[in-house]
Amino acid sequence: MACRCCIIPDDVLLRFASDPDLSDETRQALHHTAALSDQIRALRQQNAALTLAAIQLPIAKGASNAALPQALPAAHIFDCHHTMTLPGAQVANPGSSTTGTIKRAYGESENVAKFYWDIFQRDSIDGNHMTLVSSVHYGVKYNNAFWNGAQMTYGDGDGQIFLDFTRGNDVICHELTHGVTQHSLGLAYSGEAGGLNESMSDVFGSMFRQWEKRQDVHQADWLIGADIMGPLAHKKGFTGLRDMAAPDSAHAMAPQPAHYYPGIGNLDPHSSSGPPNLAFYKAAKAIGGHSWEKAGKIWYRALTTAPATPNMKMAQFAARTRTSAKSLFPDDASIHTAVDNAWTAIGL
């Protein structure tokens, strides 16, 4: 099975590329986006393998953190000018740019770093003040965003099915969280670990969107990619790419199974992430309040306090969250129950 590391899975791209309602130009842009997936995946796997080898070496970790100021890591923005050469030309003073794409890529990257620092005390993507690099205006009507193992890249979308990918703050955090996973559990992008890998990005991407809006678990819509849906996507009834609260709903452009079953690891990770996504939603809703305050901290601990485990099974991760709930909140049995019930409800 060929798994993809971009926010939009290939089956969605190819489905729309065959849609007679779309113009030839739009269908061609979708085909071209899908055609690059294998190469992007190969690059990310190579970078992830290097990271995994490095973090498994017996080198003292975190020693430099004590001397670092409590400041955000640097964020650099590059403009590809619609070429496919990375990283592109560096943008001077991106925070004051009059171009919305550049300003959003810069501001949201900084906000993701602030989110991870303020809520989880994580110093950038790698936990060690890593500079955040993003490239915008990649290709012509490129319909995706991706983390390639070292940097972020954003397409402008075709304007019909997908809009500029920097418009989705959850998309930005989703892809940067692939970097967090790369530098922590090191989850593979296949099997059950692949579904967990995608789920971690959806979970923290959704949390980040809620955090920016200061929404509690009841106010949030729990959609992934709602802000990158184009006018034709809305016309066809799609409200988002995925729905964490109802993974198999028809209004999700990429519906997922809502229940775990043996063999779910044979699916593309964008599909097999449905059950763990729903487990987080159920736990967060049962706990109440803001998703990042309790449920998020439980999931973060489960993601970051074990040695790299590339082939982790979903049941193993579920067990880690159950343990984390008790260690983080020893005096609140309702939280332990919420986490346990959430996983039990989806079959784990």
* Rounded Cα distance, 285 and 278, in Å: 10
Question: Residue holding tokens 């409200």?
Answer: 239
Evaluate whether 345 touches 279 at the Cβ level (below 8 Å). yes
Burial of 337 (0-12, 13-18, 19+ CB in 10 A): middle
Helix pair angle (191-213, 274-287), 10° resolution: 40
Helix (H) or strand (E) holding 117: helix 100-120
Active-site residue (options: 137, 178, 270, 290)? 270
Active-site residue (options: 108, 175, 192, 198)? 175
User: Is 270 marked active-site?
Assistant: yes
Which token pair is 24?
A: 């030839």
Question: Residue holding tokens 């343990």?
Answer: 323
Alpha carbons within 13 A on the beta-carbon side of 88 = 25
* Rounded Cα distance, 241 and 259, in Å: 19
Burial of 20 (0-12, 13-18, 19+ CB in 10 A): exposed
Which token pair is 314?
A: 């979903």
Residues classed as catalytic: 175, 270
